[in-house]
Structures are given as structure tokens and as C-alpha cells.
Amino acid sequence: MVRRGKFLWMPLADTAVPPDPALPNSVPPGSVPAGITTGVALMAHLGMSGQLLMQDSGVPDEKHLKVRLRLSPAEGMPEQLRFVDQRIFGGLFLTSLIPTDDGGPGGRAETPLPLIAEEASHIARDPLDPHFSFDAFYRRLRARKTGLKRALLDQGLVSGIGNIYADEALWRARLHYARPTDTLRRAEAARVLEAAREVMLEALAAGGTSFDSLYVNVNGASGYFDRSLSAYGREGQECSRCAAAGIVSLLKREQFMNRSSYTCPVCQPRPRNGRW
């Protein structure tokens, strides 16, 4: 299984598969390194409410079960992979595999094939990807000439940083969400990116941030990173960093891109000529 952003895909074979005329741009055998010959994958996109759950066959079907895949027998492993989606914004479908533009693996995976699902080819690498290029990120970030948070949410620039984790990363980096990207120094960009990595790793260790039953892991368990949030959802509460320094500062919530942004007015001052 390979992941890039919110897209997951599984190459369907490790033997030669001829190009499929129903799948434009599918990779023909021989167009990528020897031994990498499959040009088709099964792809999943979770949308807003999709779930991939590993279940034993005796577990009752979920209310919004859409697809059931039976897995090859393996001792101690679940027998089924189920796709559950309440709002039906996600889906499972066949897709073409095309070579990556940088020659690196398509995404996070045990098998580093230099192929990417065509529908995910516009998605940038995430900060935890070993092949993520900070130099390329910084160059494109400076060229955006937009607000910093808007840039962090742009999946074509960097993937994996959603609204919650963007607020947390910006708080840790002491940067305001409206900071113009073309004014960011290299050290500041590195600081916010490292903060994003820290937040994402801590969230993964905690099983993610589950505000309702739609956000669970493959075993159906909820995450608890919401207990560790320093900025998001804490409007009117003290900034813990300022409080530790003996300063009273209450976190603020502001409307942003039809969402909310949370900042500390003291350690994340609003920039002049901010961009939204």
C-alpha cells in the first residue's frame, strides 16, 4: 500500500500487466526500471468520512459499509478490509500508474516504486516523506506570495497539513497565519516545517485527532491528540507558552477560508500587510 496525501493505492500485480486502454496514460511494461511492470492500481480516497477498516469476518457489517475485500489468510491478521463511507465523498477505483516527476518513490510505502497514481500526481510530498525536498518547498513557498497558512494548506505545495495541524505548527513556530510567504526567511520556513513534522509525529503516536466517530484508525479506534492541542479549539483560554513566562494572553479565534484559525496575540503577532 502506498500513500500520498489523502490518497492510498495498491499496485495490483508484481508481474507484467499490459496497458489498459480504459485507463489513459497507464504505464506500459519497460517504461520504468526493470521489475516494475504493473501499470494499474486499486486506489482509495477517504473524502470527508471514508474509513478503511481491518475486520474479522465475524464482525457485523458497519451501517455504511460500501466495499468488502477478502484478504489472503495470515496468522493473527484480520480477514477483511472494509471501506465504509457515510457521506459517500470518498471511493475505491482503478487508476493508472505513471512515473514520478522526481524519480523517487510514489509515496510512503514498504516497496519504493517510482510510480504514482495519476489522480495523486498533483499532490506534493508530506513533511514526513524521506524524499521531501526542503529546497524545492522553500523556493515554491516564497513564490506563492500568499498567506503562510493558506500555503501550508495547499496540497500542491506540501501535503498532510490540515487546518488543525497548521494552527498547531504555526503556534509552535511563533508565526501568524497571515504572514506573507514572500517575506519568510529560510530559517523561519525551516522552523514552521519542523514544527509541522513534530505535530504530525505526535498526532500519529496518539492515533490522530478524533472529534467524532468518523475519524478512527484501521482497527476502529479513536485518536486522542485533541488532548494535546495548544492552539486549535482553545479560544479564550490562556496561551500555555505565555503563561509559563508569566504573561497573560488569551488565544483568539478568527474566520479563515470558511474555517477557524487560532492564534496567540502576544507570541504570534499579526504582521503588517498580512495576507489571507
pLDDT score for 250: 98
Report d(CA 242, CA 70) in Å as an integer. Answer: 53
pLDDT tier at 261, thresholds 50, 70, 90: very high
pLDDT score for 166: 97
Tell me the pLDDT of the chain averaged across its residues: 86
Same domain, 236 and 166: yes
CATH number for position 161: 1.10.8.50
Report whether 176 contacts 262 (CB < 8 A). Answer: no
Same domain, 112 and 139: no
Query: Is 24 within the bounds of a domain?
Result: no
pLDDT score for 91: 87
Report d(CA 234, CA 75) in Å as an integer. Answer: 45
Q: Which of 136-140, 178-182, 199-203 has the lowest mean pLDDT?
A: 199-203
State mean pLDDT over 256-268: 95
Q: How confident is the model over 125-171, as pLDDT tens digits?
A: 999 999 999 999 999 999 999 999 999 999 999 999 999 999 999 99
| Angle separating helix axes 186-205 and 163-173, nearest 10 degrees | 130
Here the cell at position 100 is: 514520478
Query: Is 116 within the bounds of a domain?
Result: yes
Query: Is 46 within the bounds of a domain?
Result: yes
Cα separation values, 209 from 9, 123, 197, 268, Å: 23, 22, 15, 23
**Consecutive H or E run containing 70:** strand 65-70
Query: Is 26 within the bounds of a domain?
Result: no
- Whether the predicted pLDDT of 16 surpasses 70: no
Query: Is 208 within the bounds of a domain?
Result: yes
- Angle CA 117–110–193, to nearest 5: 75
Among residues 62, 91, 120, the one where a domain terminates is 120
Of these ranges, 28-37, 109-118, 246-255, the one predicted with the greatest mean pLDDT is 246-255
pLDDT tier at 197, thresholds 50, 70, 90: very high
pLDDT tier at 208, thresholds 50, 70, 90: low
Same domain, 104 and 167: no
Q: How many domains are contained in the chain?
A: 2
Same domain, 60 and 156: no
Report d(CA 240, CA 268) in Å as an integer. Answer: 13
Instruction: Name the residue range of residue 175's domain.
Output: 134-263
Query: Is 269 within the bounds of a domain?
Result: no
Higher pLDDT, 214 or 239: 239
Same domain, 149 and 242: yes
Here the cell at position 18 is: 499490459
Q: Which of 32-46, 187-201, 214-228 has the lowest mean pLDDT?
A: 214-228
